[in-house]
Structure 1
Amino acid sequence: MPVFLQKRFAFLFLFVLASSPGAAQFEHWLNKKHAERYSDMRNFIDHNVNHIDTVTTNESIAKIRSQAARAGDDELLLEADYIHIAMLTSVPGMKPGKVINELNALITKADQQENQQMQIRARVQLAHVYWYFTKNYEKAFELFFDIHKRLAHISGKELPEKAVILTRIGESYYFFANYKSAITFSREALKAEVIFEHLGVHNIAMNTIGLSYIKEGMLDSADFYFQKIIENVKLGDYNVWKGIAQGDLGHTAYLRGNYEKALPLLLSSVNQAKLIGDFEQAAGSMTRISDIYFRQKRFADAAVAMKDAQGLISRTNPPKKSEQLYQVFAKVNAAQGNFDLTNTYLDSANQLHDKLAKEFNSIQMLRASERSKLQEHRATLESIAAEQQIKTLERNILFILIILLIVLALYFYKTYYYQVREKQRRSEDQLKRAEQELNFATQQLEEFTRSISEKNQLVEELTARYGMSANDQAVAELQKITILTDEQWEYFRRLFDKIHVGYLSRLREKLPGLTPAETRFMALAKLNLGYKEMASTLGISVQSVRVIRHRIRKKLNLPEESNLNDVVGSI
């Protein structure tokens, strides 16, 4: 890149890195967006960066922090940290490690506060430190990747430095001969809005695109962008771009062999470059002029141009030898018959070529080494992260299993608890129903026996009072009412079984040969009914009841002195 472009770009890029206001205007900075105070910041760049007074700058930073803290302006507090770091970056002999640590701390704060513009600007400054101070190009490119992603979510109005940053990324790719990427990022810079102070940024981007097209051998495309620079020339400082663009157009004409067109453009470029002190650009154009004179066999003019080019090179800082100039010296001396000098200059040209190639290869190898170390470091971090993830996963799985076991235990306990409670409730309900049924059966049997007793008493009273006999119709009808029919017996048996559970079953097991009448006798005897009550219940005579009792005693082989009621009670 020509010296003028480096100076102009350095000035613009340095503003991206360092901007701090005078104390008198700090109040106007409070609670404003970055873009709103950007122009005011720019007015103090030269004083705070190019004429560094660390004591004064630190005092200004302290005032900014104090006012920002009182106003609750978190973004301005970040700006104070940013300015402090930019000051450290500009101090001769600064320690890159300290600046890198402070920048990482600022990036962390910006990320925590989700301050988009500071997230980008702090990373840009960190890339600047890696690139220029530690020569760690790979880390700088890694930051460029991150910055580029973030730039997609912010406009040039919100971040006035957007075009400057994209142009810087394009320049970085040009430095490493990645011309396609240089063109891509520089084109993005052309799409970004710029404020008045940054009008030259688009010219830098177009110049990078044009130079990249020259390297790619696409001269027409290069001319298109160089011509656009001339069309974009404005009044004031940016007028110098006309000379730069003319030099570039002269270069492409020279490469085409159109020397008549190239000469006036290159001469104009030399004059303009001298005016702005860009002696490297002037030397390059003058070298091409000397080669054109040689090709036109204007050897005297070529010799003068060579000396002028040599003088311009001596004024560059630091002086940069020109491989092409050595080649022109060799050709001119060969044409004049000075073969010793010809060989000397050719040797110098070859040596310079090998030196430049070696330097570039060293930078490429350094970047490759940094990339390898970075990949190894990243792989180590990924391995550690993977191990941590595995441990975390194992811990989470164990935790989940414990929780699952607790949940299952609670579930089974709750299920068992509810089952026990349900079983208990059912048992209680069954017991309650059994008790109710038992009470009901008892009441029914009591009512049954009471009814029989009352009816028997009524029969006896009628017989005694009115002299009625058992053959009388009224007495006969009354006795029929107390007879226990087969259907009633079934109902009676169910009630009896509820009160005297299993009695009839045990009776059939002990006395399997009992007749139905005998079974009913034993049931009524269990209820302590007398012979008359049994006779009324069974619809037979008292004598018949005695006969049944006799048959039962006989089947049981009971002696006369034994009481049948004992047998009834023992079953």
Structure 2
Amino acid sequence: MEYAQKKAVTLLLFLFALFFSQSYSQTIVVPAQDLRQDFERTLHQEIPSQDTLSVKNFLKPLQQSRSEKVQVLYYGLLANGYADFFDEMNAKSDENYLLSIQKAKKSKDEALVVWSQFNYCKYLYYYRKMDKLIPVLLETIDNANKINPEQMILPGETYKIFGWIMMRVDDHELALEFLKKALHYTPKDSSDYGAILNAIGNCYLNKGNTQKANSYFDKTATAALRINDQIRYAKALGDKALIAEKTGDLNAAITLLEKDIALSIEYGNEKNNMYASILMARILLKQKKITAASTYLQKAEDIAITKLYYRDSLKEIIELKLKISNGKDPEKELILHRQLKVLENWLLMTDGDFALRKSNWIVQKTKYENEVKSTQVKLVRESKINKIYVIIILLAIMLIFLIVIFSKKRLKNISLEYDKKTMYYEIEKLRYEKTISEANQDLNTQIQYLHNKNSQISKLKLELEAIHQSPSSFLEEKNGKLQALLDSHLMTEENWSSFKREFQKEYVDFTQVLAVEFPELKESNLKIIMLQKLRFNNPEIASLLGITVEAVKKSKQRLKKKMGNRYNLLFEFIEGV
């Protein structure tokens, strides 16, 4: 009997050791070829996060690959593994994300470059490092715009993250553009599909369109239940509670939040539990239910203090506690005010909302663009421009330092910041116009010029939107320099004449047929037709002509009504010749 027991124990130990060794020997599948589909299959594999050794062992086949492109995946996924394990910003992740980006650029694979940068953007966004995120994000978006989405690695997830970040900087129009693209490239049976629907709903909610927001939250709930994603369903309920709060139906909001919190607790999602509890406390406070509100706030605070990147929520909790106290306990309120001040100073440098408002993220954007453009500019005045760039970078660094240390003096620096931004865009405009003037004036040059203008118009619109929501808004209202720069990028009569001349050289037959067969076309019609011939879409045409997308569509509709059956012939001719 004793022998049999020993034998059984030995067998159990052997099986345990075998299982343990197999679990640790499990490794990632290396892409068979350097193709998007193979890369995506590799990226969809779950990486173990119980310790850093298991992460390295799992990814080892990628490290051993001779393919430089596979090495990009290795360093990016290794960085993700460290981030998941430490659950905070860490030097190992930073180092490996940058190595992944460096190797992607060296490989000259545009899709890999976008993926490596986007992978880093997710990390910076998740841990609220908006000061570091914005320059990387701008470069990533610019690179993504240069390639066909069909060639991108994980286009749905990429556009989703772009949309989320644009929501955070309150550019809801651009966020909607990215999120709708993301929806197109995301399978309907995935959890991401519900997340994107939810984000679109929040965009409409922030724009004040509660009817559309509610419609998207309903779609989110339906999509979540279809795949049994209870946490996404809970979040949809929480967002519907926001609408109920806005419309004054506080009891309905409370009912929705109770379900949200119950599901969050049942499925162990502390983050969603925290957000829902804060909202619940806010609504209960409106109903004067102080005790219940305090209970929910305490539960939310217990979660918020566990993670550094929850400090924006912790700030909201303290502000609600101060509302509850309302002068009843001066000593407690003094402590809360001190905590709030410490949090605001910390968020000033780390969290998105404060970093964007207080630290002026546009300075970081300018710094990034100056550094990148200075390596590409090969002009006669290169050395002088480089000196200007260096001065701008140094001033930006000094400005950020002064903002943090001497926040009370910030108003004195606003004018300088505004002038710097204006100077930068003026230099960019002059630089590119000089490049174009020195190049061969063919149609390709004109097309490149128009694409650059579209890019500059988009950036200036972002800049104007950010400034209108910042303390610098009064300067723009007074001087209108950035608006003037934006207007100067629109197609002037001189630009149009030059473009039309080169177009007519390239498309001789097309131009002649237009003149003979469609003499009723006005100059305004020709602008849209020629740009459409060159594959510019409605938003791009509207941007270049300084009109709305709706105006472009109406112009086409008027032309269709005017031409009747000949309209279809005209646009078949545009597509066919």
* TM-score of the aligned structures, taking structure 2 as reference length: 0.50
Paired position in structure 2 for 1:42: 44
Paired position in structure 2 for 1:367: 361
Offset from partner CA, 1:414-452 (integer Å, 9 cap, x none): xxxxxxxxxxxxxxxxxxxxxxxxxxxxxxxxxxxxxxx
Q: Is the 8 A contact 1:329 1:342 kept in 2?
A: no
Compute the displacement of 1:190 (Å): 1.1
Provide the secondary structure at the position in 2 that maps to 1:47: coil
Provide the secondary structure at the position in 2 that maps to 1:233: helix
Offset from partner CA, 1:307-348 (integer Å, 9 cap, x none): 4444444455666354554454444445xx836378558846
Q: 5 Å matches for 1:128-277?
A: 135-151=131-147, 153-155=148-150, 159=152, 161-194=154-187, 199-234=190-225, 238-277=229-268
**CA gap 1:275/1:105 in 2 versus in 1, 3 angstroms:** same
**CA gap 1:279/1:376 in 2 versus in 1, 3 angstroms:** same
Paired position in structure 2 for 1:103: 101
Letter in 1 for 2:141: F
**Larger Rg: 1 or 2?**
1
**CA gap 1:60/1:299 in 2 versus in 1, 3 angstroms:** closer
Letter in 1 for 2:267: I
**CA gap 1:221/1:349 in 2 versus in 1, 3 angstroms:** farther
| 1:118 aligns to 2:112 (yes or no) | yes
Paired position in structure 2 for 1:475: none
Paired position in structure 2 for 1:338: 328
Letter in 2 for 1:154: P
Paired position in structure 2 for 1:60: 61
Compute the displacement of 1:273 (Å): 1.9
State the alpha-carbon separation in 1 of the partners of residues 143 and 344 from structure 2. 36
Paired position in structure 1 for 2:499: none
Provide the secondary structure at the position in 1 that maps to 2:170: coil
Q: Is the 8 A contact 1:279 1:315 kept in 2?
A: no
State the alpha-carbon separation in 1 of the partners of residues 56 and 297 from structure 2. 49
Compute the displacement of 1:250 (Å): 0.7
Q: Is the 8 A contact 2:72 2:116 kept in 1?
A: no
* More off after superposition, 284-293 vs 322-331: 322-331
Q: Is the 8 A contact 2:157 2:182 kept in 1?
A: yes
Provide the secondary structure at the position in 1 that maps to 2:149: coil
**CA gap 1:378/1:272 in 2 versus in 1, 3 angstroms:** same
Compute the displacement of 1:164 (Å): 0.3
Percentage of matched positions with identical amino acids = 11
**CA gap 1:50/1:236 in 2 versus in 1, 3 angstroms:** farther
Letter in 2 for 1:47: P
State the alpha-carbon separation in 1 of the partners of residues 227 and 292 from structure 2. 34
State the alpha-carbon separation in 2 of the partners of residues 178 and 24 from structure 1. 38
Q: Is the 8 A contact 1:124 1:147 kept in 2?
A: no
Offset from partner CA, 1:506-528 (integer Å, 9 cap, x none): xxxxxxxxxxxxxxxxxxxxxxx
State the alpha-carbon separation in 1 of the partners of residues 218 and 199 from structure 2. 13
* TM-score of the aligned structures, taking structure 1 as reference length: 0.51
Q: Is the 8 A contact 2:75 2:96 kept in 1?
A: no
Letter in 2 for 1:226: F
Offset from partner CA, 1:278-310 (integer Å, 9 cap, x none): 334323322333343343344443444444444
Equivalent residue for 2:275, pick from 280, 284, 295 = 284
State the alpha-carbon separation in 1 of the partners of residues 372 and 92 from structure 2. 28
Paired position in structure 2 for 1:450: none
Provide the secondary structure at the position in 1 that maps to 2:292: helix
**CA gap 1:184/1:211 in 2 versus in 1, 3 angstroms:** same
Q: How many residues align?
A: 350
**CA gap 1:245/1:341 in 2 versus in 1, 3 angstroms:** farther
Compute the displacement of 1:251 (Å): 1.7
Q: 5 Å matches for 1:301-380?
A: 301-314=292-305, 320=311, 322-334=314-326, 338=328, 340=330, 344=334, 347=337, 351=341, 355=345, 358-359=348-349, 360-363=353-356, 365=359, 367-378=361-372, 380=374
Compute the displacement of 1:136 (Å): 2.8
Gaps of 5+ in 2: 1-24, 83-89, 383-430, 439-577
